Amino acid sequence: MRWLVGWSSTAAGTAGIGSAGATGYDGETVHPVGSQLLWGDPDPLWAVGDWRPDEVRTLQADARTRIAVLGICGASDEELRLGLLTARGGALRHLTAWPGSYTAVVQVGRRVTVCGDLAGARPVFYTPWANGTAYATAALPLADLIEANLDFGHLAALLAAPDVPAALDDSTPYAGVRRIPPGHALILRAGAREVAGYEPVASLAVAAPPVDPDRAVDAVRDALVEAVRTRLAAPRHVPGADIDPGPVPGMGPAERRAARGMPVPGIGADLSGGPASSTLALLAAGLPGMPGTVLGHGTGAGERLLAVTFNDLASTGREAEVERAGRLAANPRLHHVVVAGGEETLPYADLDGPLTDEPGQALVTAARHRARLASGSADHFTGYGARQVLDAHPARLADLLMDRKRRHLVRPVAALAKADGSVLVPARVYGAARRLARTPYRAGVEGLAERLLQRRFDEPGGAVEASLAALAWARPGPAARWLTGEALADVSVRLQGATNRAGGGPGQRPGDFRARTALARHAADLRTLEQAVEIRFQRLHTPFLDNQVVRACRTLPETLRVRPGARAEILRTVLRGAGIADLPPGWGAPTHASAAAATRTGLRVAAGPLMELFDTPLLAQAGIVEARVVRKALRGAAAGEPLPLDGLADLVSLELWLRRLLARRGTCWTGTPARARAVPAGITRVIPAVAPVRGARGLT
């Protein structure tokens, strides 16, 4: 993991802050393990982890004004200086408008500003500590610092309503550690904290001004090309060049690299055959420069970009995509590598792994992704996030009705009717969209709270049912049906309390609100995936989640988004604008293959370890689930019963995360007593905030 951590005290010099560390509750001096100090008194900042030299940039205008940028940032030193001078007046948005993916920290006197990103892939956390506020880009270090216990209400909300911000609010799995929302910045003034948004919010009273679709797509193309070019312009890295033990009889450089589990030097990309990954691979290979491996290392391919395709031998349905990937790899600037995966890469195949900052479904699919990325490059492009920033959430149909654009519902509704084969689909979809357009946010959240209390969980059975279920402000998560009545009641209380605090609602249209929520959830899952499958010296690049790309995608008109096949058409236009027009037949066609078959096979193969995992689960000790209920669900899913597989993945991944968290023995801080780490008391049974609802017990 790589993270930054800082501190702002109430008054300079009173809290024991210094360049060597900070004074804790018991008078001990603490500082992060394995850190490099970026600046010291009175509000220090550290970078922790294996940061590359070009990923950490600092610039100082005077003794009281400085900026640190950590990550991939395309701004020049002069642009950083101008941005720093502008930020002295309190402006924030321009600090997030440079190409790349980074975290910017600005210090002006005693005011410290930490900017989060728009997607949520680079979050910022904070907690009160020692007469001030500590902040970091990871939650676990702050939890260690304050010896935080688990927030069981947050864990229950992760299972019962993972896509509902009203349930999760700004909490984290650690009690006392808070998260700033995407599109916001944390501002500290001598220890006092404020969370401020830097993005304008569309008005509910006035429809958005009309946007020319061609110009909007051109803006997406320019932002995406600039995001890729920024990565290509960064220095190239040869993994482990300083620790190579030297020649080994019978082994060349590539074999030694593989034996150490290190990536190929240079730049590469996923090439699944889908539109998102292939767009990035073709852009990286087609832009001027030297995109590929470093000459003399790895494949010996010179300037060719390494393209990696995962071929799942344990399940079927993606043969067409793999074939398209092979045709795309015929590009002379691509070096194609196909990674075959059998039962050892099925979901649930490997239940051991590193501790991540937060739980996520990637913990049960880590072996699958690690097998692919192990053959990747030191800098590896992935297409994660393209669906969330380009596609239309079904709730956007309600936005069209609110803007009196009914005729634009014809094409998406016709596509759903064709897929379902029923003439009743248009009326059902239109009715659901109309109800959502007329439902206030508060009523939608209160309706979810009531559904949780009454245990009404209707699992959608097809594309039409899934679209109808998504036409709501909030809906239960797939794992909610397996929670105890006490846990569901706790989440219901959180929802009702959030609506009382929120007043009128989120200030956005339902479709736009749901789309931003889905993007934040995906970004959080991606962050967990990066930590769960982390390969030493490798960097995963997700240009679709860059601030400028997200902004450009948000300008796409809804009338363009809701068209069937809109994402593929937009990316086809992006490639055409970059001079790439020769695409194989069927490129961008939606795949009908599902991961359900591989997931069920993985459940069946790993049935024994999963039963042992839920023999005496920590989730049951916390009062969130009943062990027998989960074991019955796992057996049923492995046997083919129509159960929500995503919900089971949420349960298993959360149980795995809890076990790894409690099994750790170290801490993120040095100079602290042995007790100074998160969850020092372990799992304890929690008394519910409200009395359990009569009859609201786990499923039998």
User: What does the pLDDT look like over 362-405, one tens digit per residue?
Assistant: 999 999 999 999 999 999 999 999 999 999 999 999 999 998 88
* Widest CA span in the chain: 73
Percent of residues, the chain, with pLDDT higher than 70: 87
Residue tagged 């092979």 (tokens) = 326
DSSP β-bridge partners for residue 171: 178
| Spatial separation of the C-alpha atoms in residues 633 and 607, rounded to whole Å | 11
Amino acid at 668: C
Q: Which tens digits make up the pLDDT trace of 489-525? A: 999 999 988 876 655 567 788 999 999 999 999 999 9
Q: pLDDT band at 299, cuts 50/70/90?
A: very low
Please report the pLDDT score of residue 532 as a whole number: 95
CA-atom Rg of the chain in angstroms: 25
Angle formed at CA 206 by CA 204 and CA 211, multiple of 5 degrees: 110
Q: How many CB atoms lie within 10 A of CB 583?
A: 20
Domain with CATH 3.60.20.10 in the chain: 3-153+170-201+666-672
Highest mean pLDDT (candidates 22-26, 454-458, 626-630, 692-696)? 626-630
- Span 333-374, pLDDT tens digits: 888 999 998 889 999 998 999 999 999 999 999 999 999 999
Tokens of 499: 């609506």
199-258: pLDDT as tens digits: 887 666 566 677 899 999 999 999 999 999 999 988 887 766 555 545 555 555 555 555
Check if the beta carbon of residue 412 is closer than 8 Å to that of residue 562: yes
Q: How far apart are CA 458 and CA 629, in angstroms?
A: 18
Is this prediction's pTM over 0.85?
Answer: yes
Between CA 457 and CA 415 the distance in angstroms is 27
Query: d(Cα 339, Cα 320) in Å, to the nearest integer?
Result: 16
What pLDDT was estimated at residue 245? 47
Q: 3-153+170-201+666-672 — its CATH code?
A: 3.60.20.10
Q: What are residue 39's phi and psi, to 5 degrees? A: -155, 160
Question: 216-238+262-387+552-595: which CATH topology?
Answer: Rossmann fold (3.40.50)
Report the length, in residues, of the chain. Answer: 700
- Phi-psi bin for 27: left (phi > 0), alpha (psi -120 to 50), beta? left
Q: What confidence tier does 672 reach under pLDDT thresholds 50, 70, 90? A: low
Provide the H-helix boundaries in 194-348: 213-233, 253-260, 275-286, 319-328
**pLDDT of 210:** 79
- Report the amino acid identity of residue 53: P
Report the pLDDT value the prediction gives residue 694, as an integer from 0 to 100: 36
Query: Which tokens sit at 614?
Result: 């839920």
Give, for 445, the enclosing helix (H) or strand (E).
helix 441-454
The arithmetic mean of pLDDT across residues 609-627, rounded, is: 95
Mean pLDDT, the chain, integer: 86
Structure tokens at 554: 């948000």
Is there a cis peptide before residue 253, judged by omega within 30 degrees of 0? no
Phi-psi region of 466 (alpha: psi -120 to 50; beta: other; left: phi over 0): alpha
pLDDT exceeds 50 at position 16: no
The pLDDT assigned to 12 comes to: 54
Question: Which whole number is the average pLDDT over 602-620?
Answer: 94
Q: Is the pLDDT of residue 272 over 60?
A: yes
Q: Residue range 97-109: average pLDDT?
A: 96
Q: Are 679 and 148 in contact (CB under 8 A)?
A: yes
Q: Where in the chain is the domain with CATH 3.40.50?
A: 216-238+262-387+552-595
- Type of residue numbered 476: P
CA distance 653 to 364: 6
Is 5 in contact with 139 (CB distance < 8 Å)?
no
Q: Is the pLDDT of residue 89 over 50?
A: yes
- Residues 424-466: tens digit of each pLDDT: 888 999 999 999 999 999 999 999 999 999 999 987 777 888 8
